[in-house]
Amino acid sequence: MDRREAMGLGLAGGLAGALLPRAAWGQEHETGYLPGDSQEFIGLWPGTPPGGDGIHLDLKVTDAVQPDGFHVRAVSQIQQPGFFVYRPVKPTGLGLLIIPGGGYASEGGDRGGREIAQYFSNLGIISFVLRYRLPGEGWAHRETVPLQDAQRAVRLIRQGEYGVSRLAAIGFSAGGHLSATLATRSGMPTYTRVSGADGLSAKPDLAAHMYPVITMGEGAHQGSRDKLLGENPSPEAVADWSLEKHVTADTVPSFVCLATDDDVVPPAPNGLAFYSQLQDMKVPSQLNVFEKGGHGFSLHWSQGKPCGAWPQLFLAWAATHGFKV
């Protein structure tokens, strides 16, 4: 039995939301598992995920160790999505769904993932790092695949025995596109109900979008658009997934954070445009713009810099919306 089959049995043997033993997702251990990673992984779907008939992927993990010893893993070829749970020693009743970036071509295992979960769980916030399917890996209805996984994760967290009274979502880069999609389209029907959890709301109580990909039009991050929509999307698809066009008064209260020297995801047509629409629609929101930081400053790369203040700024804002540590 190969590892992929073991993972399939781990999900098929019980309802989605059950804890999978490490043996069922052991690729991580063999290709870059690090001390400090969560031992608890919750699968999202019983059996084949939506739109996955005939798809067979072997998890791929690359690990680029930085000069200071920090690991930067990129995860792709994701057959079985789920989330890793980081439980605090002293829980506060707050929960955080963490959505790593990677241009919808891969996902960060550490940057915008593990490091974020460790930071916030140390503050008493139970943290869930989402491993979502990538839209360019053969799934049907590719543009809705990440949202399917994010919606299902929120619902399973709400159904699970995690003690979460308030749930926030935070996304980084392309993960910020997904967190903003949740903020604007949590109720969008994207899959057929598979369990009782799907009767629950997929709407977070609040959200944070870090140097987010937002637009699919002019100024889009080309790689993210190509992976989400294909290389030649229709004007309708571009408009449909340009999230600055879909902010309503019902959008989740949002924190937007970026740096003006971001030369990967241009701030003006992305995070700044999204914030402008939030303000126009009178959605409770806050914008923090740093002079320096570039793209992907996250936590490790922001140490000792002004942009390193973002977690405290986020928590101070979140506290005014009932998300108080």
Give the model confidence (pLDDT) of 168-190 as tens digits.
Answer: 999 999 999 999 999 999 999 99
Q: What value does the mean pLDDT of the chain take?
A: 91
Distance CA 142, CA 104 (A): 11
Helices and strands of the chain, counted as H and E runs: 9, 12
Q: What is the pLDDT of residue 33?
A: 61
Among 108, 109, 171, 177, residue whose Cα is nearest residue 145: 177
**Residue 37 pLDDT grade (very low, low, confident, very high; cuts 50, 70, 90):** confident
Among 324, 308, 42, residue whose Cα is nearest residue 157: 42
Q: Name the percent of the chain lying above pLDDT 90.
A: 85
pLDDT at 23 over 80: no
Q: What is the pLDDT of residue 3?
A: 32
Determine the average pLDDT of the residues in 99-108.
97
pLDDT at 93 over 80: yes
This prediction's pTM: 0.91
Determine the average pLDDT of the residues in 97-108.
97
Q: What is the pLDDT of residue 13?
A: 31
| H/E element, 120 | helix 115-121
Q: What is the pLDDT of residue 228?
A: 98
**Residue 32 pLDDT grade (very low, low, confident, very high; cuts 50, 70, 90):** very low
3-class DSSP state for residue 164?
coil
Q: What is the pLDDT of residue 147?
A: 98
Q: What is the pLDDT of residue 84?
A: 96
Among 131, 155, 137, residue whose Cα is nearest residue 15: 155
Distance CA 170, CA 288 (A): 15
Determine the average pLDDT of the residues in 20-37.
50
Q: What is the pLDDT of residue 239?
A: 98
Among 26, 23, 34, residue whose Cα is nearest residue 69: 34
Give the model confidence (pLDDT) of 117-174 as tens digits.
Answer: 999 999 999 999 999 999 999 999 999 999 999 999 999 999 999 999 999 999 999 9
DSSP for 236-281?
A: HHHHHT-GGG---TTSPPEEEEEETT-SSS-TIIIIIHHHHHHHHT
Give the model confidence (pLDDT) of 215-244 as tens digits.
Answer: 999 999 999 999 999 999 999 999 999 999
Determine the average pLDDT of the residues in 311-318.
98
